[in-house]
Amino acid sequence: MTTDLTRATAAELADLLGAGSVSSREVTRALLDRTTAVDGVVRSYLHVDEDGALAAADDVDRRRAAGEGLHALAGVPIAVKDVMATRGLPTTCGSRILEGWVPPYDATVVRRLREAGMPILGKTNMDEFAMGSSTEHSAFGPSHNPWDLDRIPGGSGGGSSSVVASFQAPLAIGTDTGGSIRQPAAVTGTVGTKPTYGGVSRYGLVALASSLDQAGPCSRTVLDSALLHEVIAGHDPMDSTSVDAPVPAVVEAARRADVSGMRIGIVRELTGEGFQPGVQARFDEAVQHLVDAGAEVVEVSCPSFTYALAAYYLILPSEASSNLAKFDAMRYGMRVTPDGVDAPSAEQVMAATRDAGFGDEVKRRIILGTYALSSGYYDAYYGSAQKVRRLIANDFAAAFETADVLVTPTAPTTAFRLGDKLDDPMSMYLNDIATIPANLAGIPGLSLPSGLADEDGLPAGFQVLAPAMVDDRLYSVGAALEARLAAAWGGPLLDRAPDLTEVSR
């Protein structure tokens, strides 16, 4: 066996496992060893569950040997963002306030992974409660970009993207509230999909902003994302906002990879000015590849997108301020008693705990949200933001009249340096400008690598957006583009990433 199991894609691993040429234990062991070798510098993981992953792998191997019918991805290991509840495995959301909390239940997504027989390697790092675009706001320290360890791996799901980009896992679960799957995918040269809102259950996903949050796949190929998408998607009676409709045929679409006759809409407001020239150049080339593959290009305008960022930064903190109220030191997580108080009241303990347990970005957004929801300001802020949200949905609806999918660069720039934007939240927020509209409208989006920017040699991302519940179209376009790009590059983009074992030694 000469295949480097850590470099194999999930689809390749599934074939090897299915054919019996490799065991899940071998695959899992190889990935855990890779983690031992490189995670000291990448820091993708908050918790690694070596015993649990190997036990799950052994279980699958046993069942396969017994001739049981198994899921296609059975035995393929996966990492999970630390925002999903995992029974018996710590779930901290990157926050001190949840340090040591071990949920007594599994998120629906996690349950489906376990049912498919996918060993869970561990929980990946993230910006605290998914607030941030760089993973620098994790209370346990930042993750690093495998392409350049001095740079951010994107956020909030930087752990899930870097774990895939650094070959510690073929697949990871991310969550995307304003771009936290797609933007990290873009800056790490990986693939990330935000499914249609409600397409994947939110049960067990610790809520940041309930009306925006969506779990989805992180992978190295478009087909791998589709395979994972199929495992985790589908109606969940435990989530009232879960869509009760058949899951789109995403795997089939990824395998077909056909864009002939498809109308590709370029969003005027999300191109050109404000986008790094190298990012824009790779985007333009990618569009040309799609035209070469038989697609037709149209330009569309979405004028309300101008207000998307403002609306997002009112809705998100509003919902977050309420969702995070449950972290009060009464039932779980950390408890801090205030200094110099003899017999502190419940309120004083809550206040002291929240003060010590939440980081600056979280406090900033709680304060913002509390203000935006307060009675005198509700209409001016939260109410107006909800109106903008409807306008944005209308813009998308109109754009999808003329185009089958919309395309944009995923993020305006390549990965910025760690620390560069820590003191300037506004400029960090701008990184999500192209991804946020999809969350506000609830439509699906996928990011795949479009190449390396000339200025810095770092990955740039290409975003595809489709109408709600037409997630399959993302995979048709993504897979077609991926095939053409790989042919042009002579192999996957990640083959050009630095070999981290040199650095870690």
Partner 1 sequence: MSTTTGERTLSFDEALATFDPVMGLEVHVELGTNTKMFCGCPTEFGAEPNTQVCPVCLGLPGALPVVNAVAVESAIRIGLALNCSIAEWCRFARKNYFYPDMPKNFQTSQYDEPIAFDGHLDVELEDGSTFRVEIERAHMEEDTGKSLHVGGATGRIHGATHSLVDYNRAGIPLIEIVTKPIVATREKAPEVAKAYVATLRDLLKAMDVSDVKMEQGSMRCDVNLSLMPRDGDTFGTRTETKNVNSLRSVERAVRYEIGRHAAVLTDGGSITQETRHWHEDTGITTSGRIKSDAEDYRYFPEPDLVPVAPSRETVEALRATLPEPPAERRRRLQTAWGYSDLEMRDVLNAGLVGLVEETVAAGASPAAARKWWSGEIARRANTEGEDVPAYAARLGVTPAHVVELEGLVTSGRLNDSMARQAWEGVLDGEGTPTAVADARGLELVQDTGALEAAVDAVIAANPDVAAKIRDGKVQAVGALIGQVMREMKGQADAGAARAIILERLGQA
Could you list the active site residues?
Answer: 81, 156, 180
Distance CA 349, CA 20 (A): 56
Kindly tell me which residue out of 203, 283, 305, 307 binds partner 1, with binding defined by CB under 8 A.
Answer: 203
| 384 sits near partner 1 (criterion: CB under 8 A) | no
Q: Is cis: bond before 156, omega within 30 of 0?
A: yes
| 350 sits near partner 1 (criterion: CB under 8 A) | yes
Q: What tokens were used for 118?
A: 């996918």
Distance CA 174, CA 31 (A): 19
Nearer residue to partner 1 within complex by CB, 109 or 227? 109
Kindly tell me which residue out of 67, 69, 104, 490 binds partner 1, with binding defined by CB under 8 A.
Answer: 104
| 209 sits near partner 1 (criterion: CB under 8 A) | yes
Distance CA 295, CA 287 (A): 9
The site for partner 1, by CB under 8 A, has a size of 45
With contact defined as beta carbons under 8 Å apart, do 141 and 134 qualify? Answer: no
Distance CA 17, CA 32 (A): 17
N-to-C CA span, the chain: 26
Tell me the window of 54-62, 135-143, 188-196, 367-375 that interacts with partner 1 (CB under 8 A).
367-375
Tell me the window of 164-172, 218-226, 236-244, 256-264 that interacts with partner 1 (CB under 8 A).
236-244
Nearer residue to partner 1 within complex by CB, 177 or 410? 177
| 107 sits near partner 1 (criterion: CB under 8 A) | yes
| 342 sits near partner 1 (criterion: CB under 8 A) | no
Tell me the window of 151-159, 237-245, 400-408, 473-481 that interacts with partner 1 (CB under 8 A).
237-245
Kindly tell me which residue out of 93, 120, 250, 316 binds partner 1, with binding defined by CB under 8 A.
Answer: 93
Distance CA 493, CA 474 (A): 20
With contact defined as beta carbons under 8 Å apart, do 54 and 104 qualify? Answer: no
| 77 sits near partner 1 (criterion: CB under 8 A) | no
For residue 240, the minimal CB distance to partner 1 (Å) is 5
Phi and psi at 470, nearest 5°, equal -115, 45
With contact defined as beta carbons under 8 Å apart, do 175 and 216 qualify? Answer: yes
Distance CA 411, CA 270 (A): 10
With contact defined as beta carbons under 8 Å apart, do 134 and 142 qualify? Answer: yes
Strand ranges inside 222-355, DSSP E: 263-267, 296-300
Nearer residue to partner 1 within complex by CB, 237 or 272? 237
Phi and psi at 465, nearest 5°, equal -120, 145
| 2 sits near partner 1 (criterion: CB under 8 A) | no
For residue 59, the minimal CB distance to partner 1 (Å) is 25
For residue 124, the minimal CB distance to partner 1 (Å) is 16
Residues lying near partner 1 in the complex (CB under 8 A) are found at 84-85, 91, 93, 98, 101, 103-105, 107, 202-207, 209-211, 237-241, 318-319, 321-322, 325-328, 330-332, 345-347, 350, 370, 373-375, 378, 382
